[in-house]
Structure 1
Amino acid sequence: MTAVHGAAAEPVLPVPGADDRPAAPARLVAALVAAQFGAYLAVLTPVIVTLAIRVAQVAPDTRAASLGQVLSVGAVLALVANPLFGALSDRTTSRFGRRRPWLLGGMVVGLAGLLLVAVGGTVPLLTLGWAVAQLGVNATLAALTAIIPDQIPDRQRGRVSGLVGMMTSVAMVGGAFVAQAVAGHALLMMAVPGLVGLLCVGWLVLVLRDAPADRAALAPYGLRTFLRSFWVNPLRHRDFGWNWLGRFMVYVGLASLTSYQTYYLVDRLGFSTEQAAGKVFLSTLVMTAATVVGSILGGTLSDRSGRRKPYVVFSAAVTGLALLVVALVDSLPLFLCAVALFGFGQGLYMAVDVALAAAVLPDPRESAKDMGVLNIANALPQSLVPIVAPALPALGAGDGPGGNYSALFVTGAVCGLLGAFAVQLVRSVR
């Protein structure tokens, strides 16, 4: 059984200086990367493809509104679940360790939720299933994110962060392939990504050396402590606060393209809705390939130089330039070129994002909780951008048809650059 207790008074897993810890073994890094891929395959495949199909099957007359309902409930729970389960993971005294019970248990619960989505015959059942899936997978992701500060020495974090970060994009492509391969089979569309995720995370659980929290050093965990898990004082921990703000602004820029490229292809470039679906898949492939290149290159160079902040600035400049190009182009080839540039900049940012975050955590004893708070900064823009973006059409109305997208992408570029500026105010990381 998993035992969960209060905050540790002393570090259970001391995190010595970067030169004091041996390099993480290759099998751990490989399993960590695979687990990241599997978890995101399980949770992103429904978001990208299969959840919309299930909603259309269950409620064809109200599919748009019903899909919004299902996704919004899941998004809110994802925001709550990450820091909550991160805090619980930090306090787990199970003999299986702090992270492993949440890694494996979260994926089992997530798979159960996906299966409910597959067999549910009403929108409330789909909503319930997706809520369970989000809670489960985010419990896994909370523990998964903490493994980098727990287990990876600083001199390796750029490369590992890059490999882990690019798995989000790889999982999106993998999810699209899975959805196409099992099209028409509702159970398989949900079960296959969940099972792959469970197997990948299971591999990490087998190779991970994970010590439990010290029961004797734990204080009670109540409502007040739970509410504190969503807050890190930015005045006491300024580097953490600046990094949170920088991450939030950069992800606003990233979400401005990923959230609206389908409508852009229809309204600006003139494709039909059916054609746009194929073009989005093509752009996702291009973006993923470029993200992989940027992640590997940025992570390797960052570790060799021992510097993180220059790569954040350069990545923001690259993605900002790409968004400006998207705002101006009127042809698919130029759009794909801009998407490739965008993906490369995104990969550079992901290569140092987690490494930089791990270096500014207020307390290694609460690494999962604090990484969960940081994860709000990249999850929140994915909900806020679709809400705020409809206010931009008036700003671009003078540009003619599709001018609103120019305003959206320029705003995204500016937000990304502001995020890079915020990261420059972090003092404890070069």
Structure 2
Amino acid sequence: MDQVVVPASATASPAGPMESPAQAPAPRGFTGKIGLAQFGLFGALLTPVLVTMALRIAQVDPANKTSSLSLVLGVGAFCALIANPLVGRLSDRTTSRFGRRRPWLIGGVIGGTTGLTLVAFVPSVPVILLGWALAQISFNASLATLQATVPDQVPHAQRGKVSGVLGVALTLAIVVSAMLASQIPSARVQFLAPAALAILFVGYFALTLPDKRLATKPGRLSLKEFAGSFWTNPVEHRDFGWAWLSKFMVMFGMVAPSSYLAYYLMSDFGVSTTEVAGKLALLIVVGYLCNAASAAVSGFLSDKAGVRKPFVMGSSLVIMAGLALLAVAPSFPMVLLSQVIIGLGGGMFYAVDMALVTEVLPSEETAAKDLGVMNIANALPQTLAPAIAPFLLAAGGGDNYTLFFGFAAAVTLIGTLSVTRIKNTR
């Protein structure tokens, strides 16, 4: 039976036809509110990946910090990989009187904050692992439903603009959180301050969202449908498949080095443990300010030009160039320059790729589920990179960051080529 969607405030009685999400204008203030929600959510989710988790692990288990960090990040990313598409499918089927998206948005940030509290307060690698797994599952529940509100609420012609705002918000979240982490001496506050912002902004977005709910209860979720939560057939939906592969490859290139920059600075450039947080914050702030500047204009230009693919391909090539420079950087200023280049490319990619993805979705009715499958391309590199990193870094006597970053650049090139195979959007 087809699922009829009605406003969350309506009764469960059958409703008349609604405007298509591709035609109805976005709700007033939606773009700003979702930008704030993105800012809060990614500040809480990515600050540990980029800054505080490496420092926390080094504090708790200094003798085995590289392997322990890889384990914690890898397990957490695997949990994100499972949670994102599964919650997306469940959100599409949710019949709560509070709407399809709102319960998952609010529950996710509460669960994520609980997980970060465990990480911040318990000096044990197993407990940190448990807390980070809970945080990844919960925050990705919020992420899956947050992104699904774009095809729910925004017409196609405005999605580049909204995608650009989301890209800027993501960037600013990382910059602000990195600056706070470098200025706050308390490890506990470093984890909990971004989480508090997530609760504030995601909660505000969720409570003011004109959410919709299903007027008819869907049938029981079969085992086949459950398995389908993690799969969208790339043969039947070729453009979606190529977009997934492109995102996976480019995201691998971007996330692979990020969690190891602190160790790279200490190993190759002799940065002390007391100085590394400040140096790392500088790299992140400069790189992501470039990211924000690029994202701010790229989504608008993509809407104006009416094309997505050239922007996604160009951004991927810029990211690849930055990774290549990072692989051979002879000094800290060259590392800083590499982050500028990666930031410019990453901003354009984040701003336009989301708009491209929403245009190759198999169905608007299963948007959260399909975006969840697409978000596997975000999460899977975070699992694979820590698994691959120890082998590449160990080559040639250990700490082989040139090979590791060069491999990331090569993978990004494959992602660039994959975009050319997308046919039904420009």
Q: Same fold (TM over 0.5)?
A: yes
Deviation at 1:21, TM superposition (A): 2.3
1:382 corresponds to: 382
Cα deviations by residue, 1:36-73 (Å, 9 ceiling, x for unpaired): 11111222233334445555665566655554443333
Per the TM alignment, residue 277 of structure 1 is displaced from its structure 2 partner at its CA by 3.5
CA–CA distance in 2 between the matches of 1:203 and 1:210?
Answer: 13
* Partner SS state of residue 98, structure 1: coil
Q: Paired residue for 2:119?
A: 117
Mark the CA change 1:117 to 1:267 in structure 2 (over 3 Å): closer, same or farther.
closer
Contact 2:308/2:352 (CA < 8 Å) preserved in 1? Answer: yes
Which residue of the partner structure matches residue 35 of structure 2?
33
- The Cα of 1:428 is off from its aligned counterpart by 1.3
Are residues 1:428 and 2:421 paired? Answer: no
Question: Structure 1 residue 252: deviation in Å?
Answer: 1.8
Answer yes or no: is 1:245 the counterpart of 2:259.
no
Q: Does 1:146 align with 2:139?
A: no
SS at match of 1:215: coil
1:302 match: 302
- What's the CA shift for 1:414? 2.7
Secondary structure at the aligned position of 1:212 is classed as: strand
Amino acid paired to 1:131? A
In the TM superposition, what is the alpha-carbon distance from 1:423 to its structure 2 partner? Answer: 1.4
The counterpart of 2:5, out of the listed 12, 19, 33, is 12
> 2: distance between equivalents of 1:384 and 1:210?
35
Counterpart of 2:136?
A: 134
**Residue identity matched to 1:426:** I
What aligned pairs does 1:11-410 form with structure 2 within 5 A after superposition? 12=5, 16=20, 18=22, 20-25=23-28, 27-52=29-54, 54-55=56-57, 65-120=67-122, 122-184=124-186, 186=188, 188-216=189-217, 218-392=218-392, 404-410=400-406
Residue identity matched to 1:70:
V
Mark the runs of 5 or more structure 1 residues left unpaired by the alignment. 1-7
Q: Shift of residue 171 of structure 1?
A: 2.0
Q: Tell me the distance in 1 between the aligned counterparts of 2:95 and 2:200.
A: 24
Partner amino acid for 2:331? S
For residue 15 of structure 1, report the CA deviation from its aligned partner.
7.3
Percent of residue pairs bearing the same amino acid type: 44
Find the aligned partners of 1:189 and 1:262 in 2 and give their Cα distance. 16
1:419 CA displacement: 1.0
Q: Is the 8 A contact 1:259 1:382 kept in 2?
A: no
1:295-351 Cα deviation digits (max 9, x unpaired): 012111001011000001111121122222333331222332222111101111111
Distance 1:129 1:311 in 2: 38
Deviations along 1:399-424, one digit per CA (max 9) or x if unpaired, are x997x434333332232222122112
Q: Is the 8 Å Cα contact of residues 23 and 152 (structure 1) preserved in structure 2?
A: yes
User: Could you tell me how far apart the structure 2 residues matched to 1:105 and 1:356 are?
Assistant: 29
Flag the 1:277–1:184 CA change in 2: closer, same or farther, 3 A: closer
> How far apart, in 2, do the equivalents of 1:220 and 1:284 lie?
46
Root-mean-square deviation over aligned CA pairs: 2.7
Partner of 1:4: none
**Aligned with 2:409 (options 391, 413, 416):** 413
Cα deviation 1:361-420 (Å, max 9, x = unaligned): 11111111111111111221122123224444698x6xx997x43433333223222212
One-letter code of the match for 2:415?
A: G
AA in 2 matched with 1:407: L
Q: Is the 2:81–2:376 Cα contact (8 Å) retained in structure 1? A: yes
CA, structure 1 residues 61+389, in 2 after alignment: closer, same or farther (shift >3 Å)? closer
Letter in 2 for 1:196: L
TM-fit CA distance, 1:112: 2.3
Instruction: Give the Cα–Cα distance (whole angstroms) in 2 for the partners of residues 116 and 271 of structure 1.
Output: 29
Task: Say if 1:245 and 1:125 are closer, same or farther in 2 by CA, change over 3 A.
Answer: same
Report the Cα distance in structure 2 between the residues aligned to 1:179 and 1:201, rounded to whole angstroms.
Answer: 21
Shift in CA distance, 338/189, structure 1 to aligned 2, threshold 3 Å: closer
Q: Aligned partners of 2:57, 2:408: CA distance in 1, in Å?
A: 30
- Give the superposition deviation at 1:122: 4.2
Q: Is the 8 A contact 1:15 1:364 kept in 2?
A: no
**C-alpha contact 1:268 1:401 (8 A) present in aligned 2:** no
Pick which of 358-367 and 256-265 moved more: 256-265
2:304 is aligned with what amino acid? R
Which of 265-274 and 325-334 deviates more?
Answer: 265-274
Residues 173 and 408 of structure 1: is their aligned pair in 2 closer, same or farther, counting only changes over 3 Å? same
Structure 1 residue 11: deviation in Å?
5.5
Distance 1:124 1:222, change over 3 A: farther
Q: Which moved more, 1:138-147 or 1:57-66?
A: 57-66
Contact 2:175/2:289 (<8 A) preserved? no
Which amino acid is the alignment partner of residue 341 of structure 2?
L
Q: Is the 8 A contact 2:167 2:292 kept in 1?
A: no
Question: TM-score, normalised to structure 2's length?
Answer: 0.88
Per the alignment, in what secondary structure is the counterpart of residue 213 of structure 2? coil
The aligned amino acid for 2:101 is: R
Cα distance change of structure 1 residues 327 and 63 upon mapping to structure 2, 3 Å threshold: closer
